[in-house]
Structure 1
């Protein structure tokens, strides 16, 4: 569905991404994982079209989108800070994009999405009255009513914790499955990537270290960087997560 072929990107002579080649299948949830400065946000911006590709190709359903501007790609993003309009209530934020594109989603479809995200009781609230989890759900709804071909999420769980974090993870999974929506997530947290995604792309110093299913990365890490990165980040919770994927691998 989405293909990146030999993608390269540099800023001021410094290579940020080097020879990135991968495919993303229809309906998959993919996490882009890596330490700070590894190039993961740059890769998300290249896919969205905010940033130009220096060399290589980006294809969607076989169509070359490498030089196609962002507004014509049909992809959409939920930013880390949600980027909601503080002067509008939750419902007006959700339906804002439909003012100029009224035919994309019907009132029934909007209502269905609001119900799916559990936002019915919050529609009249101003943004400042919403919790972090509620803001995240409003931002997801606002993006989803525009029916994106690909949903991009930039650190969607970084400001959340505990039960709220798990709830948003479940809703992201539900949306992806209900709408068969290809979803690409940038995260610095291995736990999020391994428990949320169908496949995980691990980037280090602008190159792909490994791209595979969570259980493959846990049980068959490609190199010492992945072993150390995963182990160090998951030290507190590693026993539960490792046992989970070992059980799945042997099931």
Structure 2
């Protein structure tokens, strides 16, 4: 379990995160949702260890990681731009991290992950020969072979659309379930968060506006910001809400 308690963060005297407390259970998919500039990426970076909190604690399975270096935490991230190595082919990108930690995944485990993500036919290709969805799958595979304790995803679907977006969404769910992998996703898209996650943390100007399961957020928004942001501003498609949460929720979204 990951637990954040009373996290505070400021940059140049400007408060970015204020009194953030949350728990993430093992194997959960949690989305951090909010508009641009609300602090969600800063929160992801605090969990990863790129940024250090001004106050508060970050614990994982009872271990205090608040001041621990990123490499000591065992959390891995897939960045929004994938951050693949253009001079390496797909297979070399996937297995790059194993050069320094060769025993962390066996050859069989690497092959099973490649199969799970449907990358067999692309292994010898260069990065510039791949589509956006293929690059996303390679980035996921490269992270997964390192067996992270927590998988962090920064806007994983923002550059994708249509069938490709739904395919990657399904693969993220499959990976989380099959590996019982705690997964934290940053997104600005309410529909993405609500259809992908077990729970959603909504941030408004650095504070928690609501933290709960998708059904509760749709059916019981705790304040006007959540109601406006989820249902009106970003115009979530009524048919998707209907399929997930029923007619009452779809009526409220309309």
Decide: shared fold, TM above 0.5. Answer: yes
* SS of match in other structure, 1:95: helix
Cα deviation digits, residues 45-88 of structure 1 (max 9, x gap): 00000000100000000000000000000000000000000000
Distance, in Å, in 2 between the alignment partners of 1:54 and 1:207 is: 15
Q: In structure 2, do the counterparts of structure 1 residues 170 and 249 end up closer, same or farther at CA, with 3 Å as the change threshold? A: farther
Question: 2:197 — aligned with what?
Answer: 197
Secondary structure of the equivalent of 2:169? helix
How far apart, in 2, do the equivalents of 1:82 and 1:13 lie?
Answer: 32
Q: CA deviation at 1:233?
A: 4.1
Is 1:151 aligned to residue 151 of structure 2? Answer: yes
1:216 maps to 216
The 3-state SS of whatever aligns with 1:35 is coil
2:252 corresponds in structure 1 to none
Within 5 A, what are the aligned runs for 1:104-115? 104-115=104-115
> Secondary structure in 2 aligned to 1:221?
coil
The corresponding residue for 2:240 is 241
Aligned counterpart, 1:177: 177
Segments of structure 2 that go 5 or more residues without pairing to the other structure are 250-254
In structure 2, how many angstroms separate the alpha carbons of the residues matched to 1:204 and 1:247? 27
Given the alignment of the two structures, is residue 93 of structure 1 paired with residue 93 of structure 2, yes or no? yes
CA distance in 1, matches of 2:244, 2:223: 19
Distance 2:236 2:61 in 1: 41
Unaligned runs of 5+ residues in structure 1 are none
Tell whether the 8 Å contact from 2:230 to 2:236 is kept in structure 1 after alignment: no
Give yes or no for contact 1:214–1:245 (8 Å, CA) kept in 2. no
**2:134 and 2:241 mapped to 1: Cα distance?**
31
Distance (Å, rounded) in 1 between the aligned partners of 2:22 and 2:247? 25
SS at match of 1:77: strand
Cα drift, residue 246 of structure 1: 2.9
Q: What is the aligned partner in structure 1 of residue 167 from structure 2?
A: 167
SS of aligned partner of 1:7: strand
Would the aligned equivalents of 2:190 and 2:236 in 1 still touch at CA under 8 Å? no
Aligned to 2:7: 7
Provide the secondary structure at the position in 1 that maps to 2:246. Answer: helix
Check the 8 A contact 1:218/1:245 in 2, yes or no.
no
Q: Following superposition, which runs of at least 4 residues in structure 1 exceed 6 angstroms of deviation?
A: none
Corresponding residue for 2:38?
Answer: 38
* Deviation for aligned residue 1:154: 0.2
User: How many residues align structurally?
Assistant: 249
